[in-house]
Chain A
């Protein structure tokens, strides 16, 4: 088997491992940590499509996340549409939004693009905050309903959410895997490495960026739809703030940007650590949990700027350091 095929075997093994967890682990809190880990791995993988492979560092993905969460919640609470379709609709809206925003923004290069994404996401947040038809600052409350796969509401059972988050991660992984081996994947990496050189070789730079942005936004929004169904209440502060944009980028950067496994590795370190330190140390009010969190990120940034994954690679790819 080629090394690429082996990746699929690893995915199968990892998935099988996660599928087995809810059968043996019953604790709602630990399952909650697992769900968040898988969800952020999927979201970081979505971010990775644009940020890691195409090299366009977006710090405004909270906009697409919020878009998915809001479209899903509105369709469900106002029209009774199942979140399965709601999340898809949210994904499509986000993809169109990404294309519309990409049209002006992709004319900006490097840091200027990143700054534009931050500003646009903040504008989105302010608009939703002041838009009474979508709940404004009050947010949207999902009704309490009985357990159902149709409405994705499960009062105490966490296993379905584990499978949903896992499914989302596996799909985003497979899409990334497919892209990596496709013509698009080569184009995107060429755009990332040297835009001018890529363009001179016939790579359609603008179209590459637009396609990556749309795909990335779509999956980020689907993740947002999942989040809304999982938490059962959203308001602008809890789905659209800058904090989320960072939380999508951070696992990918920490684990290894532009790699297949970086987002999962990063999320598997970051999320359990933030959750567990907060839960077991946060109650003291002295901020130890946040100090540990900050120290770890600084440590990795200094010791392994290519991401944790580079520890396991015999020759760290120079492109990963970007």
Chain B
């Protein structure tokens, strides 16, 4: 038994020596930020793309770039003696428990200044609570569940819109179409049985009731389902004026394939992004998606109003061999917002970075997004994160709504 104990003492001492590195008091050479994403399994591509988006953002912060984005002109973070940002990645495998454990490891072992993540809303949930317990800011780049910022967390920040903003944008668009004389009376909801699908469909149901649309199909399906035949059959029978899907990549592909097999061409699809902003979906079934409308945080053809988009997209494309999309644009921008906060905090102390982030004020034209500005409410949600609606026409996305940033009117029906 003594041997057993001694060995643990030795391991323990070794571990203690490793973890007890002195914390650098001022102006560290490197600011470490943890990025928590799915790096394996069904959504591994999301993690790989996020990585390219973050590397692009860090490249712009660490180097000198003549572009209208926060932190671009100087090398590194001015407020911390031109310190460079270094990213550490971890894989949460879409599991809230693993996300929590990895967040704890990043905080205690890698001594990260902040954590950015996590794509899946359920994982962002546990990770943000862990960050709160350790007093480390959590930058919610791309999880859009509205429940996330309603938990009185002090260290939670989300620059992008949540699903209620998006759904509202979608219905504003439908109202505008209707006002211009198009017949839109019935809606078909189609959503996965996850936190994302539940939030999205709840909001859509509420808005439909408020604004006088009739829901003729309300279909919940099992996420990552092997077949959607009976669900699509129901959609086909209802034949709503607009189908509103809330689906991730694999289900989005399956949905469109099954529609093709069953000979159902919906009059219009207005998607809650997610899978419908992934390149994989358009690679697989893009030919069937001409005229698809999606809500978006981002559109490449806004470059006329946001010149930095072209610059950033070129850099991103050089890494990832694809254009920026809804997710990667949000990830890119969230990293810049976080870097800007750390820069102004002039410190890596969690409380100081939190205070600086809370005081964020980045004008919309300093972003690559359609947002009015970046400024967080007390709950950590950016209140000016206006979404846009985009339509997939001839293999390209065209911004169609709101009118102020629209490049063309909507093609209707699709």
* Interface residues of A, Cβ cutoff 8 Å to B: 13, 16-17, 20-21, 24-30, 32, 36, 126, 129-130, 136-139, 141, 144, 155-156, 227, 231-235, 237-238, 275, 278-279, 282-285, 287, 289-290
Contact = CB atoms under 8 A, between A and B. Distances in A.
Nearest to A126: B222
B4 A279 contact: no
Given A27-B15, A285-B39, A233 B96 contact: yes
Interface stretch (B86-94, B251-259, B292-300): B86-94
A29 B51 contact: no
Nearest to A17: B4
Nearest to B153: A144
B199 interface: yes
11 contacts: A13-B1, A137-B193, A141-B129, A233-B122, A233-B126, A237-B94, A238-B96, A282-B40, A283-B88, A285-B51, A287-B44
B265 interface: no
Interface stretch (B102-110, B275-283, B325-333): B102-110
B101 A32 contact: yes
Nearest to B102: A279
Contacts, number: 129
Given A29-B101, A138-B147, A233-B129, A285 B40 contact: yes
Contacts of B147: 138
A28 B105 contact: yes
A133 to B, nearest CB: 14
Question: Ordered nearest first, which 5 A-B pairs have the shortest CB separation?
Answer: A24-B12, A282-B91, A283-B89, A29-B105, A285-B39
B408 interface: no
B9 interface: yes
Contacts of A278: 91, 93, 98
Interface string B110-131: 0000000000001001100100
Given A29-B104, A235-B96, A238-B122, 20 more contacts: A17-B4, A20-B8, A24-B11, A32-B104, A32-B105, A126-B222, A137-B197, A138-B198, A156-B133, A232-B126, A233-B96, A233-B126, A234-B96, A237-B122, A238-B95, A238-B96, A278-B98, A283-B91, A284-B39, A287-B40
B195 A282 contact: no
B134 interface: yes
A144 B132 contact: yes
Nearest to A243: B95
B206 interface: no
A317 to B, nearest CB: 27
Of A137, A139, A227, A235, the most chain B CB neighbours within 10 A belong to: A137
Interface residues of B, number: 51
Contacts of A126: 193, 222
B182 interface: no
Interface in B155-203: 193-195, 197-199
B13 interface: yes
Nearest to A241: B95
A289 B51 CA distance: 18
A131 B171 CA distance: 27
A137 B39 contact: no
B223 to A, nearest CB: 8
Contacts of A20: 5, 8
A296 to B, nearest CB: 16
Contacts of A234: 96
B118 to A, nearest CB: 13
B9 A24 contact: yes
B97 interface: yes
A257 B97 CA distance: 27
Interface of B: 1, 4-5, 8-9, 11-13, 15-16, 19, 39-40, 44, 47-48, 51, 88-91, 93-98, 100-102, 104-105, 108-109, 122, 125-126, 129, 132-134, 147, 151, 193-195, 197-199, 220, 222
B91 A25 contact: no
A26 B15 contact: yes
A26 B16 contact: yes
B15 A231 contact: no
B41 to A, nearest CB: 9
B93 to A, nearest CB: 7
A285 B44 contact: yes
Contacts of A275: 101
A235 B122 contact: yes
A125 to B, nearest CB: 9
A137 B195 CA distance: 5
B96 A28 contact: no
Contacts of B105: 28-29, 32, 279
A146 to B, nearest CB: 11
A137 B1 contact: no
A283 B39 contact: yes
Given A25-B12, A284-B39, A285-B39, A144 B129 contact: yes
Nearest to A23: B12
Of A155, A227, A231, A234, the most chain B CB neighbours within 10 A belong to: A231
A13 B1 CA distance: 6
A93 to B, nearest CB: 22
A130 B193 contact: yes
A28 B160 CA distance: 32
A231 B97 contact: yes
B75 to A, nearest CB: 26
Contacts of A238: 95-97, 122
Contacts of A141: 125, 129, 151
A231 B195 contact: no
A139 B39 contact: no
Contacts of B9: 24
Nearest to A290: B40
A281 B39 CA distance: 10
Contact of B195 (A144, A235, A287): A235
Given A27-B108, A28-B104, A156-B134, A231 B12 contact: no
B109 to A, nearest CB: 6
Contacts of A30: 15
A237 B126 CA distance: 14
B387 to A, nearest CB: 22
A16 B89 CA distance: 36
Nearest to B87: A283
